[in-house]
Every structure is written in C-alpha cells, then in structure tokens.
C-alpha cells in the first residue's frame, strides 16, 4: 500500500511563505500523477495544484502565480512552494497520488492520500 506523508505546515503571517513536502514510500510515484488539496472544516476539499507524469502542472485560479508544485525526478518527494500567503489559504493541506498519466484537480481521481499538514495564515 503506497504511503504519503506530508510535512512543512505551520503558522505564518500574511505575505509569508511555506514549503510543503510529501514523501512517498511503499511505491514510487515516478510514473504517477500527484496533487495537492486543501480543506477547511465544514467545506469541500479543494484542488490546489497537480503535476502530471510529463511534468505538466495545473493550478487553481486562487493560487496561480503564488504556489508552485514540483517533484523530485525519482518521484520520492512532492513539494508545494507557497508564497504571498493570505488568511484565506488557511486549511489542512493534503497530498494525493494516482496511477494515471494525467490527473487534474478533481479529488475523485486520487485513491492515495496523506494525513495532511495544517497551514495557518494570520493577518
């Protein structure tokens, strides 16, 4: 069973930056698409960014120009660099993986999920 473990969350003031990491184990994700999602209690999970097998990336409109998704060449670790953070970015952030060439921002495509890491942005 593939295992995903997120880290790098924390508290930051508006305008600050954080870098989230997602380490994979049990199965390399070199040939799989990966994504970052976030969720606020009481709201639906939202797709933030995804990266396909060919390196193509997709971003939610709310984070374009501020967040960057990337991945180690061997697929061992997925990253989300978050700059110019705003209070509305506060959420639990999850990484997810799927054995497809291309995924996107729909959470229904992803069978594998991490436990999440909390990001809190204060004004």
Q: What does each of the 123 residues of the chain score in pLDDT, given as a tens digit? A: 678 999 999 999 999 999 999 998 866 555 789 999 999 999 999 999 999 989 999 999 999 999 999 999 888 899 999 999 999 999 999 999 998 889 999 999 999 999 999 999 999
Closest by Cα among 20, 11, 15 to 38: 20
User: CA-CA distances (angstroms) from residue 59 to 14, 25, 29, 108, 118?
Assistant: 20, 25, 20, 17, 20
The Cβ-side half-sphere exposure at 32, using a 13 Å CA radius, reads 20
Write down the pLDDT at residue 30.
Answer: 56
The Cβ-side half-sphere exposure at 56, using a 13 Å CA radius, reads 9
């Amino acid at each position: 069973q593939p295992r995903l473990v997120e880290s790098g969350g924390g508290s930051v003031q508006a305008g600050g930056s954080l870098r989230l990491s997602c380490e994979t184990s049990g199965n390399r994700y070199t040939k799989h698409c990966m994504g970052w999602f976030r969720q606020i209690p009481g709201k639906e999970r939202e797709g933030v960014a995804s990266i396909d097998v060919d390196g193509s990336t997709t971003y939610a409109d709310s984070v374009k120009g501020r967040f960057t998704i990337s991945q180690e060449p061997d697929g061992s670790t997925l990253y989300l660099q978050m700059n110019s953070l705003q209070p509305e970015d506060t959420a639990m952030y999850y990484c997810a993986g799927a054995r497809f060439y291309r995924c996107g921002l729909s959470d229904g495509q992803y069978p594998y999920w991490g436990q999440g890491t909390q990001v809190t942005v204060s004004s």
